[in-house]
Amino acid sequence: MRIVTAIEDSIQEAASILKEGGLVAFPTETVYGLGANALDGKAVARIFEAKGRPQFNPLIAHVSDADQAAALVVFNEWAEIAAHHFWPGPLTLILPRKSDCAVNELVSAGLETIAVRVPSHPVALKLLQAAGVPVAAPSANVSGTLSPTTPQHVAEGLGDKVDMILAAGACDVGLESTVLDLSGDVPVVLRPGAVTAEDLSRVLECDVVVEDGDTDKPKSPGMMLKHYAPSIPVRMNAIDLEPGEALLAFGSDQFMGVNGGGAAKDLPETQRRNLSEDGDLNEAAANLFAMLRALDRPEHKAIAVMAVPDQGLGVAINDRLKRAVS
């Protein structure tokens, strides 16, 4: 593992590592982030692998300016004002994904919205400018441990799982970024942070709702943290197919049969996807949400998913499939 002082050359090198699918820990004004190219699903899957996260929760896509954000998500008037007023800075905006948005669906955990932010730390900004791609980045720590505010914290927690640590001393240990959902009828603060609801209300000139943080407790519709779930049933650990079911394979589906006659491998393309023909969990994680979505069609009776090993990234994949089942 390499801890490198953030200077012009090392920032350029870090940007190259990101573009090539690697992981770079970098300072932001809140904590050190664990960054990957948000357009590259396999790179994003490595974030979850490195953090040992048992769940795929949506990540923030960090960008270098509002124009780059506007290429990914649909801005409304509130978003224009908030971005103009608070970026670069600790405010994350949740906005609808553009139809041609190239951010991998693992970043947004399959949701129709994406969280975007322009951080103000000069090293983060330089890195994002040099990389020229949106960078997905949660805190650079092992899941369940304290967020890192120094490069040493990152090294102790993640060690060789990260390709490079860009070091620029201790973070300001400010609060986390405020997460503001602007995709609905009213602005909603999903996570309080350095930018307060009062600040937002004054600048947006309207009422701002503050979530109470208990995301599992149903409140008014649309106010829970939504999880993507297909609209048709999902069946796990499938070893054969029922007629009318779509197949989400993992590994070879060569010898999989359809009850009543036929072979899975002869199904039309619209009815069959493979998370990873080689049985690679990283590739499977990168494909999961896009493939579920592709098979989620009313003409299919259900999505039958072949068993995915319950280890490494497979734990998070199975967690998401189980939620889709229930």
- Rounded to an integer, what distance in angstroms lies between the CA atom of residue 145 and that of residue 139? 10
- Which of positions 254-293 make contact with ligand AMP (CB under 6 A)? none
Which CB, 64 or 271, lies closer to ligand AMP? 64
Give least dist CB 111 to ligand AMP, A: 4
- Which of positions 274-293 make contact with Mg ion (CB under 5 A)? none
Phi, psi of 125 (to 5 degrees): -65, -45
The piece of 42-50, 107-115, 246-254, 258-266 that touches ligand AMP (CB under 6 A) is 107-115
The piece of 6-14, 57-65, 295-303, 316-324 that touches ligand AMP (CB under 6 A) is 57-65
The token pair at 239 is: 């070893």
With CB cut-offs between 5 and 8 Å by kind, which of ligand AMP, Mg ion, none does residue 108 bind? Answer: ligand AMP
94 is an interface residue for ligand AMP by CB under 6 A: yes
Residue 284: C-alpha distances to residues 35, 55, 114, 287, 307 (Å): 20, 14, 21, 5, 12
Q: Is the dihedral of CA 255, 261, 266, 267 positive or negative?
A: negative
- Rounded to an integer, what distance in angstroms lies between the CA atom of residue 46 and that of residue 111? 20
25, 10 contact by CB (below 8 A): no
222 CB neighbour count, 10 Å cutoff: 12
Size of the site for ligand AMP (CB under 6 A): 18
Q: State the first-to-last Cα distance of the chain, in angstroms, to the nearest integer.
A: 41
The piece of 38-46, 51-59, 78-86, 158-166 that touches ligand AMP (CB under 6 A) is 51-59
- The residue within the footprint of ligand AMP, chosen from 72, 164, 179, 246 (CB under 6 A), is 179
- Rounded to an integer, what distance in angstroms lies between the CA atom of residue 95 and that of residue 282? 27
158 is an interface residue for ligand AMP by CB under 6 A: no
- Which of positions 123-162 make contact with Mg ion (CB under 5 A)? 139
Question: Nearest to Mg ion by Cβ — which residue?
Answer: 139
Q: State the residue for tokens 């405020």.
A: 178
- Rounded to an integer, what distance in angstroms lies between the CA atom of residue 305 and that of residue 309? 12
Residue of 122, 101, 133, 103 whose CA lies nearest to 19: 133
Fill in the per-residue mask, 213 to 242: x = in contact with ligand AMP (CB under 6 A), - = not in contact: ------------x-----------------
Give least dist CB 27 to ligand AMP, A: 14
Residue 199: C-alpha distances to residues 163, 185, 220, 297 (Å): 38, 19, 24, 43
Give least dist CB 157 to ligand AMP, A: 14
Interface residues toward ligand AMP, by CB under 6 A: 57-60, 92, 94, 108, 111, 113-115, 138-139, 176, 179, 190-191, 225
Contacting positions for Mg ion (CB under 5 A): 139
